[in-house]
Structure 1
Amino acid sequence: MSIHMGGLREGHSVDNVAYICQMLGELRQVAFSEGADMLCYLIEMAYVEAGDIKSGRRPRSAGKRDGNGSSGMAV
């Protein structure tokens, strides 16, 4: 499943964001079971952000700004 948002139809984007939400929820449970409080917090913030995007309360991107690009980190 591709999670790249650019160039995909809206339906695919919604499906991808829903998938991200699901995975973040599962990752949070793993982090919680390991007692990784800061990691739980960061994952929870990403989960909330993804939920806001999925529901339309927040745009997918704040815009193309210098220095706001991908870190190039493989996921």
Structure 2
Amino acid sequence: MVTQNEMNGRREENTRENSAYIRQMLGELRQVALGEGADMLCYLIEMAYIEAGDVQARRRPRSFLHRERDKSPNVSV
């Protein structure tokens, strides 16, 4: 039987892997936008790239909704 801690650990690892993938794709998209001279698009993609890095490094929660969903109902914050 898989414990709750193991499930949470797997979910955390998946989140980091997904964030790394998203960040990599954003880096590639930024290069394409840069080549097209799309300055505003480059800026927005760069902001998303930084955000993905923060999520990957756990400096920032994925979102408010995920933070609420992941809370245990018996634990007060």
Provide the identity percentage: 68
Task: Choose 1 or 2 for highest CA Rg.
Answer: 2
Q: Which contiguous aligned blocks of 4+ residues in structure 1 show a shift greater than 2 angstroms?
A: none
Any unmatched runs of 5+ in structure 2? 1-9, 67-77
The structure, 1 or 2, with the larger RCO (C-alpha pairs under 8 Å, 6+ apart) is 2
- Structure 1 residue 56: deviation in Å? 0.9
Task: Give the Cα–Cα distance (whole angstroms) in 1 for the partners of residues 55 and 11 of structure 2.
Answer: 15
**1:8-49 Cα shifts (integer Å, max 9, x gaps):** 721111100000000000000000000000000000000000
Q: CA RMSD in A?
A: 1.4
1:1-75 matched pairs, under 5 angstroms: 9-63=11-65
Task: Give the Cα–Cα distance (whole angstroms) in 2 for the partners of residues 63 and 22 of structure 1.
Answer: 24
Any unmatched runs of 5+ in structure 1? 1-7, 65-75
Q: Which has the higher helix share?
A: 2
What TM-score, normalized to structure 2? 0.69
